[in-house]
Structure 1
Amino acid sequence: MADPDWGIAAYTFRNTELPRTLAEQDGLYSLQVRGEGEPRAEIVDAISRAHPGSETDQWLADLASPDVTLLTLTITEAGYRLSGDQDGTAIGRVLAGLRGRHRASGAPIALVPCDNLPGNGGVLREAIRTAAAGEAPDFRSWIEDHVSFVDTVVDRITPATTEQDVTATARLTGFEDRAPVVTEPFSEWLLAGDFPLGRPAWENSGARFVDDLAAYEQRKLWFLNGAHTLLAYAGPALGCATVDEAVRHPVLARLTASWWDVASRHASLPEEDLADYRQRLRQRFSSRGVRHNLLQIAADGSQKIPARILPVLRAERAAQRMPDAPVAALAGWLIHLRDRPVSDPRADELVSLAHSADAPRRVLSALDVTLANDRELVSAVEDYVEHLRLSAGRTV
């Protein structure tokens, strides 16, 4: 949309229905933006073609083609984990594509991960290096010299689409779209890295290219994603189902403000920048235009908590402080593991630990052994589990 000379060949490896729907719609879908007033919608025509991941030959042909100059990935935090069977993982599929590109033309390519991970370009680089450890030396050298890994920060709340969204889109656009995307007015996309064969003019649609993303990554992961994680686990324990409900709950509103206060003590950006971002987050979280389901955010806690919550908690414990908000997030996660359906790559292990004797320490040990050996912290998490249950009883 920002640059009509470019198009997207889109692949999804889990959902077979979505690429079929997009193909039937000639790649068109609608973007519905919801704030406090009347929603607005536009038709997006950036997708040239859509494929299920089962079309392996087409995937390999696309990655081998020098006409394909960059690959964006949104595979969630869990997608960067390697397993014994790498071929079936997202990283394994990318490596297979790079292997074919090396054999076919050797053209350089930029890989652009868009997941909520600090230094996501570096994380992807290390995952590819590890997966390629047994490959031929000339292929590994080609990866080092010809594959660029771009760091990104993507900041826009996009809840799962509902049937009501499909109906609203048809009303707004006259287009019978079975794959609409619903989002908020706010958006931010920051990128740092090289594009050896060029890129679309994303800046025409507001993307910003910067030299150093670390401070912005930290701000987004701690303030937005960290608050989301806190609400996703403590919120349902207090009877809340969506983010906007949660930030109106007096206990959760206090915990959210407390979390931002604590995170501010360790953040790199100036206080005025953080204060402005916090104010915008309050408005975004409380908007009823975008109703973000807490159980959607709660998926993959074992991957999210280490990046979003634990850095701040470690810094606080090093200063011999015991902040309520991260303790509440861990307590809520323990309740979640015990009481709710768990979507997590380590679900079986974590659910078993959550129901075992000495559960707070054992669940913490799955994230960080040092924190699990912090007896005062383990006791605080255990106490906060009971505090949340009592607060829920008083609320009801």
Structure 2
Amino acid sequence: MTRLDRSSANARQAAPVRAVHLGLGAFHRAHQAWYTMADPEWGIAAYTFRNTELPHLLTEQEGLYSLQVSGEAEPHIDIVDSISRAHPGQDTDQWLADLASPEVALLTLTITEAAYHVGGDLDGTAIGRVLAGLRRRYRAGGAPIALVPCDNLAGNGTVLRSNLHAAAAEDSTEFRAWLDESVSFVNTVVDRITPASTEQAPATTSKLTGLDDRAPVVTEPFTEWLLAGDFPLGRPAWERAGARFVDDLDSYQQRKLWFLNGAHSLLAYVGPALGCETIDQAVQHPMLSELMESWWDTAARHASLPADDLAEYRQRLLRRFASRGIRHNLLQIAADGSQKIPARILPVLRAERSLGRMPNSAVATLAGWLIHLRTREVRDPRAAELVTTARSPDPARRVIAALDADLAEDRALISAIETAGKELETRS
């Protein structure tokens, strides 16, 4: 077996670094890095502040890795070559130098929804690191730059702009004026199901390519990237790989959050109580399938896009969810519920309750989340608070209050969540 590097893979030489990425993980490598590969003039310096092993592995492989695109048939392998350098978080000096470089035109981010919500001390946070990089860029001459967040937040660019400006409140007037004038914030909608890699992934790459890849990524064939915003120093030709640049993202963001991500959360919290471990298992379960269709019917009553568009999107999601080539673990999706549920579930629930209706699919999702908080290992920025609350008296009302005080005072809703939870627990 031959070690994966640019020579063995017949890959082009590393491109000059013109883009920086924060959040080097599987999704970035299946999505933004894959799109950037379409433009050989753009190289990425990718940083992770959570993992030291991955940058080391990618550096040994000269930035290369295999992307296993798995559907129902044998996977297709792409060798992705757009990452010119990979760095751990300890490379602070290089991070600041890259952000200061006038050759760098943009910064993309995949930092999870939770990382956008910060308060108090910014040391060690993603927002703090971005702000430090922008300060260094300003002092180095102040070349303009585009910031392109790629996390599942409605108006993610707008949210990032607001939080960065709030974090810079004590900075000089001149620096804050530069932020206003020279830093562009691009809103995006991103989509590509990318489960955690399995132990079989390296063997699959070896079998299909003869190359030894120690950092493979597994993903699905479908991918989408919609962007709205300005790029003052230019951007890669992402449209060559299918990215679309649009004027208004709101309707598409709503569709993604409610229909794909909302269904994912429903399955992730209810599915384990019914013995399911992965998305493809969950959509085959009669009760879960019925709940998911009910959720989509409910969300469609409040969605902005035409009915025909939503119907086609639902059919596409069913095919993606049911694919056995992607084993997307439900407990992976269940992480960070306190950040995800307010965007994915609560807008539809509020709309339904305002009309006097009790949507059983949303109720089941919240009941499943409560069970998750009480009985499973919880990965959430508010885990300590929520786990304690979920195990205390009156848990349904108190946990919902942590997300929405008004919904917590809806006695009929709280009663429905409690009843749904008891029914789920009898099935566990």
Q: By the TM > 0.5 criterion, same fold?
A: yes
Residue 202 of structure 2 corresponds to: 166
- Give 3-state SS (helix, strand or coil) of 1:72's partner: strand
- Give 3-state SS (helix, strand or coil) of 1:225's partner: helix
Residue 114 of structure 2 corresponds to: 78
In the alignment, which of 90, 107, 132 is matched to residue 143 of structure 2? 107
Runs of 4+ aligned residues of structure 1 deviating over 3 Å after TM superposition are none
In the alignment, which of 111, 116, 119 is matched to residue 155 of structure 2? 119
User: Which amino acid in 2 is paired with 1:30?
Assistant: S
Residue 88 of structure 2 corresponds to: 52
Residue 375 of structure 1 corresponds to: 411
CA RMSD of aligned residues (A): 0.7
- 1:175 CA drift (Å): 1.7
How many equivalent pairs are there?
392
State the distance in 2 between where 1:250 and 1:26 align: 47
- Give 3-state SS (helix, strand or coil) of 1:122's partner: helix
Residue 422 of structure 2 corresponds to: 386
State the distance in 2 between where 1:169 and 1:329 align: 37
In the alignment, which of 337, 347, 350 is matched to residue 373 of structure 2? 337
- Deviations, residues 39-76 of structure 1 (Å, cap 9, x unaligned): 11010100001000110000000000010100000000
User: Which amino acid in 1 is paired with 2:290?
Assistant: R
Residue 61 of structure 2 corresponds to: 25
- Give 3-state SS (helix, strand or coil) of 1:247's partner: helix
State the distance in 2 between where 1:129 and 1:238 align: 45
In the alignment, which of 27, 34, 46 is matched to residue 70 of structure 2? 34
State the distance in 2 between where 1:72 and 1:92 align: 15
State the distance in 1 between where 2:244 and 2:72 align: 26
State the distance in 2 between where 1:305 and 1:180 align: 30
Matches within 5 A, 1:211-290: 211-290=247-326
- Give 3-state SS (helix, strand or coil) of 1:112's partner: strand
Matches within 5 A, 1:84-103: 84-103=120-139
Structure 2 unaligned regions, length at least 5: 1-36
Check the 8 A contact 1:60/1:96 in 2, yes or no: yes
In the alignment, which of 160, 167, 173 is matched to residue 137 of structure 1? 173
Residue 195 of structure 1 corresponds to: 231
Identical residues among aligned pairs (%): 72
- Deviations, residues 190-237 of structure 1 (Å, cap 9, x unaligned): 000000000000000000000000000000000000000000000011
* TM-score under structure 1 length normalisation: 0.98
In the alignment, which of 336, 350, 363 is matched to residue 386 of structure 2? 350
State the distance in 1 between where 2:101 and 2:377 align: 42
- Deviations, residues 61-99 of structure 1 (Å, cap 9, x unaligned): 000001010000000001112132202100000000000
Q: Are 2:212 and 1:176 aligned?
A: yes
- Give 3-state SS (helix, strand or coil) of 1:117's partner: coil
- Give 3-state SS (helix, strand or coil) of 2:233's partner: coil
- Deviations, residues 332-358 of structure 1 (Å, cap 9, x unaligned): 000000000000000000000000000
* TM-score under structure 2 length normalisation: 0.91
Structure 1 unaligned regions, length at least 5: none
- 1:391 CA drift (Å): 3.4
